[in-house]
Structure 1
């Protein structure tokens, strides 16, 4: 299914898109659609299914809530526990292995949400740089 959209483009942007279409010998509409696709935040539906609900919920958040996600950090206790498990001189018990997998999933979920929130904010016109881990 597709929808029709009529836009008023500033002349310099229109000229740039038209020049690109001509240089690539492609229809202008194809170029505009590609630009919109590339410039949009990643589709949450491309993420693993277990993360899709969390990522989809970010689309509806206001900017302040997205900034909170961008600056969110893993709890110190979680980081320390992961470090203890990873540096254990003894083989991990099955229970510890499961705990580590669960903690790693928590980290993955956080990082994906932070990245998606940053991408949405950039798309909304904000300058975003992710804080460096300490």
Structure 2
């Protein structure tokens, strides 16, 4: 599905796009679409499908909320329980209920880290300097 828009751009930018199209012997429309794709907010479609809706929702958040996500931390209690279950899993001593709990915590941890990473990338794209941990 395609959407059509009319857009007024500065002449100098238009000339750069035209020059690039000529130099690369590609249609102007292709050059403009490429520039939009490269300059668009980062995508989330390279992550597992189960996390995509959560990451897509981040696009709609304001900067302050994204900063809160970037700076969020898991609680010590959550991390301790996760580590206990991981150890039990490696020892082969988990019950079925604990195995399910470990899977749920792993899913939760994966989503947590993906949200933090996507929020940081979105903030960088929006022009902020986001320190790396």
- TM-score surpassing 0.5? yes
Summarize the alignment of residues 74-89 of structure 1 with structure 2, pairs less than 5 Å apart: 74-88=74-88
The Cα shift of 1:93 comes to: 2.1
CA deviations on 1:19-58 (whole Å, 9 max, x unpaired) are 4323321122211211221222234466444323322322
Q: For structure 2, list consecutive stretches of 5 or more residues without a partner in the other structure.
A: none
CA distance in 2, matches of 1:60, 1:45: 16
After the TM superposition, which segments of 4 or more aligned residues of structure 1 sit over 6 Å from their partners? none
Pair 9,97 (structure 1): closer, same or farther in 2 beyond 3 Å: farther
**Partner of 2:99 in structure 1?**
97
Range that drifts further, 87-96 or 70-79: 87-96
Summarize the alignment of residues 42-53 of structure 1 with structure 2, pairs less than 5 Å apart: 42-44=42-44, 47-53=47-53
Aligned alpha-carbon RMSD (Å): 2.4
CA deviations on 1:91-112 (whole Å, 9 max, x unpaired) are 1222221111111111111122
How many residues are matched? 130
TM-score, normalised with respect to structure 1: 0.78
Range that drifts further, 40-49 or 56-65: 40-49
Whether the 8 Å CA contact 1:41–1:116 is kept in 2: the answer is: no
Q: For structure 1, list consecutive stretches of 5 or more residues without a partner in the other structure.
A: none
